[in-house]
Chains A and B, each alone.
Chain A
Amino acid sequence: GENVEQHPSTLSVQEGDSAVIKCTYSDSASNYFPWYKQELGKGPQLIIDIRSNVGEKKDQRIAVTLNKTAKHFSLHITETQPEDSAVYFCAASSPGYSTLTFGKGTMLLVSP
């Protein structure tokens, strides 16, 4: 089955800096890669996703890049704000498996 590795497990940045979280996946057939943000006491919320037919996608301050050859994808957050502090999960979906496989999460702390 699919295996998703996520790094780093924790990330501390100053407000205004950029943050990058990286994930690798094992199944070359995986074709859908979402990113979720989980705030304290809440369920994960989808913030951005990318499909295997594109290499990059942006939505305001967040962007995701995908390198299918290397089987890795990354989340980029620019101009971080304290409200970006949360746990972020990457995930991958492969056609042979009926759900998403999640990474172990990255706790992002943005200090004012």
Chain B
Amino acid sequence: DTAVSQTPKYLVTQMGNDKSIKCEQNLGHDTMYWYKQDSKKFLKIMFSYNNKELIINETVPNRFSPKSPDKAHLNLHINSLELGDSAVYFCASSAMTGGEQYFGPGTRLTVT
């Protein structure tokens, strides 16, 4: 019974392609997040949604577009992929904004 799941786990693609990463949580949480973790392990918040509404949109290129079809899902679509987008992307959820967060297993994106 995975609490926060992401698909795919690995994603290898070429520059210029468009790709999506999916996230689902079965915890009944209201808030979901996307983080980017670079090679130095730094966790950088990208987006946060509360009840399907965007509440945090950090300085992220507009090639990244999150979509929340319902409270349990938060997908990340990336257009025109660049080499610098290579990283591990984590989805997380929490019962309330700023509270205890539960992370998914991550999606390792490699852009060649």
Binding site for B on A (CB under 8 A): 32, 34, 36, 38, 41-46, 49, 87, 89, 93-95, 97-100, 102, 104-105, 107
Binding site for A on B (CB under 8 A): 4, 31, 33, 40-43, 45, 48, 50, 55-56, 90, 92, 97-106
Interchain CB contact under 8 A, B90 and A98: no
Query: Please, how many angstroms separate the alpha-carbon atoms of A93 and B97 in the complex?
Result: 9
Pick 29 A–B contacts, CB within 8 A, sort by A: A32-B98, A32-B99, A32-B100, A34-B101, A43-B90, A43-B92, A43-B105, A43-B106, A46-B101, A46-B102, A89-B43, A93-B98, A94-B98, A95-B98, A97-B98, A98-B31, A98-B48, A98-B50, A98-B55, A98-B56, A98-B98, A99-B45, A99-B48, A99-B97, A100-B45, A100-B101, A104-B42, A105-B41, A105-B42
Complex contacts, A36 vs chain B, CB 8 Å: 103
Interface of B is mostly: strand
A57 to chain B, nearest CB (A): 14
Residue pairs across A and B with CB atoms within 8 Å: the count is 58
B103 is contacted by which of A44, A87, A97 (Cβ under 8 Å)? A44
Query: Please, how many angstroms separate the alpha-carbon atoms of A43 and B92 in the complex?
Result: 9
Query: Please, how many angstroms separate the alpha-carbon atoms of A39 and B2 in the complex?
Result: 17
Query: Please, how many angstroms separate the alpha-carbon atoms of A32 and B95 in the complex?
Result: 14
Complex contacts, A43 vs chain B, CB 8 Å: 4, 90, 92, 103-106
Starting from the known contacts A32-B100, A49-B100, A107-B41, 13 additional A-B residue pairs (CB-CB under 8 Å) come to A32-B99, A38-B41, A43-B4, A43-B92, A87-B41, A89-B43, A93-B99, A98-B48, A98-B55, A98-B98, A99-B98, A100-B98, A105-B41
Complex contacts, A38 vs chain B, CB 8 Å: 41
